[in-house]
Chain A
Amino acid sequence: MMLETERLILRPIKESDALALFPIINDPDVASGLLTMPYPYPEDGLVPWIRKAQEAMGRKEQYHMVIVLKKPGLPMGVCSLSDLSWEHMNAELGYWLGKKYWGRGYMTEAVTGMVRFGFEELGLERIYACCFANNPASARVLEKVGFRYEGCARHEYKKDSEFVDMLHFGSLREEFLTHTAGD
């Protein structure tokens, strides 16, 4: 299974990606925006995490894809659809990218590809995402991909002994497919 965009490939994560992904995820500037990744990241933690991600993919509960630049082909980050509900036809979008790749539109491109996969291949009705209220860069990615801001859940998350607000965004199938029809 492989998704392709103009400059990127998104392919299922595998254990050998751990080496390239570790320095990316073990970066406080990347980790600070994420909900489920600790910082510092435990040295032997990535391989078990990848294994679990692969198992969840086998059960169609989660899809974790590595983002790879077509040339030269190194893993730069991850895009995921998780918490899949086949009953309600929705899933949660997640994404992260190595700091040295920021600022070139790669995240928006990869997320667009992942969301398209969710709507076109998985047939989902809704994809949602959230980010910390103090992470405007993440919110911008979602807006550029066509997500709509749906609200702010106050003190929803406890991060480093502080309660923080989470911004919630959603994208609906019909809305996304017409929004990106011109692309």
Chain B
Amino acid sequence: MKLETERLILRPVEEGDAPALFHIMNDPDVTANLLMSPPFPEDQVIAWIRNRREAWEKKERFAAAVVLKETGELIGTCSLMNVSWEHMNAELLYWLGKPYWGKGYMTEAARRMIRFGFEELGLERISVGCFARNKASARVIEKLGFKYEGCARHEFKKGDEFLDNMHFGLIRAELTRNP
């Protein structure tokens, strides 16, 4: 199973991805605005990969490795999680290794994943969130076509702080023809 964009391949994560994922997941700059927090020892990374592969089989969660076509490097992940087949919706999640920031890779990967959700999975709605303090992510999310839907205050506890989380949604009727 493979999704393709101009510069990237998206495919289910596999055990061979462990070394690359280990570096990215253990970078505090990457996880600063994610719920997950390092450290992630090697065996936990492998367990994470196994869990995600199983979840893809069961169609509960689609966690894709994002691979640069040019070099074959794994640069991050892009997923549809919390899939509800009853309500035909899912939540988008993505993170990228720091050396790959600033080149539009995440927007490109997310666009393909969103298309996968609506076209291949037939979803009605995709949602995405970002911490209120993460303005850069909010900008990417709006560029992807999501509409801001509200802010859940103190939704998550990260470290010693309660953080506000902004919610965005994209529904089938709002899809543009622009992939």
Binding site for B on A (CB under 8 A): 87-90, 125-126, 128, 148-158, 163, 168, 170, 172
Contacts and interface: CB of A to CB of B under 8 A. Distances in A.
Given A87-B157, A158-B124, A163-B125, A150 B171 contact: no
B149 A152 contact: yes
A90 B53 CA distance: 29
B167 interface: yes
Contact of A158 (B87, B167, B171): B87
Contacts of A156: 87, 89, 125, 127, 169
A172 to B, nearest CB: 6
8 contacts: A88-B155, A88-B156, A89-B157, A90-B155, A150-B151, A150-B153, A153-B149, A163-B88
B86 interface: yes
Contacts of B172: 155
Given A158-B124, A163-B125, A168-B167, 15 more contacts: A125-B154, A126-B152, A150-B151, A150-B152, A151-B150, A153-B125, A153-B149, A153-B167, A154-B147, A154-B149, A156-B87, A157-B87, A158-B87, A163-B124, A170-B154
Contacts of A90: 154-155
A87 B159 CA distance: 10
Interface residues of B, number: 22
Contacts of A163: 87-88, 124-125, 171
B100 interface: no
B33 to A, nearest CB: 16
B48 interface: no
Residues of B contacting A: mostly = strand
Nearest to A168: B150
Contacts of A148: 153
A157 B169 CA distance: 13
B151 A151 contact: yes
Contacts of B101: none
A172 B154 contact: yes
Contacts of B149: 151-154
A156 to B, nearest CB: 6
B116 interface: no
Contacts of A88: 155-157
A137 B155 CA distance: 25
Contacts of A125: 154, 157, 162
Contact of A128 (B86, B152, B156, B162): B152
A89 B155 CA distance: 9
B153 A154 contact: no
B86 A158 contact: yes
A143 to B, nearest CB: 15
